[in-house]
Amino acid sequence: MRMRTVEIGVGAFMLAGILALVVLALNVSGLNPAEQTGGYKVYARFDNIGGLTPRAKVAMSGVQIGQVKAIRIDKDMLMAEVEMEIFNDVDYLTVDSSASILTAGLLGEQYIGVVPGAEEDLLGEGDFIQDTQSALVLEELIGKFLFNKVSE
């Protein structure tokens, strides 16, 4: 076995490994270097977040403009507080924007839909979205329906 063939083979092997890792990173896990430049944090309080999880997408008109970073309970308000990271190039969210928790498809994952309002001022780092709408919880919906039926 000549050393040259061995070295060429090993080089190709290493290259294949690196290429495969890049494919895994970019294509499979959706790690986008352009998106990783960060963004600014925006918060919103919800009565009920349903099945929302960290890393869920934040979308406007269905287009992703950020992602959910963390979810915790706000101890003063006793509501769920969702921390969202909005991409830096999104500079059209006004302070009176509204956020609602929506479901993609019938069984799909939940995401936050944001609708901009009409004010002039824009949301910045650390601001709260005031106008929020909770996730649709099926049991509550059925409960309300039954309650209405009984009271009729």
- Smallest distance, other proteins to C-beta of residue 150, A: 33
Task: Assign 151 to helix, strand or coil.
Answer: helix
Q: Is 62 left (phi over 0), alpha (psi -120 to 50) or beta?
A: left
Q: Is the CB of 33 or the CB of 72 nearer to other proteins?
A: 33
CB of 140 to other proteins, least distance (A): 24
**Tokens 């901009």 found at:** 116
Residue 59, Cα to own-chain centre: how many angstroms?
7
Q: Which residues contact 14 (CB under 8 A, 6 or more apart)?
A: none
- Smaller CB distance to other proteins: residue 66 or 97? 66
Which of 29, 61 has the CB closer to other proteins?
Answer: 29
Shortest spacing between CB 131 and other proteins, in angstroms = 26
CB contact at 8 A, 88 and 69: no
Please answer whether residues 97 and 112 qualify as being in contact, where contact means their C-beta atoms are separated by less than 8 angstroms: no
Taking the least distance from each CB to other proteins, the nearer of 2 and 75 is 2
The site for other proteins (CB under 8 A) is made up of 1, 3, 6-7, 9-10, 12-14, 16-17, 20-21, 23-25, 27-31, 55, 57, 106-109
Minimum separation from the CB atom of position 3 to other proteins (A): 7
**In the complex with other proteins, which residue's Cβ is closer, 21 or 146?**
21
Least distance (Å) from other proteins to the CB of residue 27? 7
Containing H/E element for 144?
Answer: helix 138-151
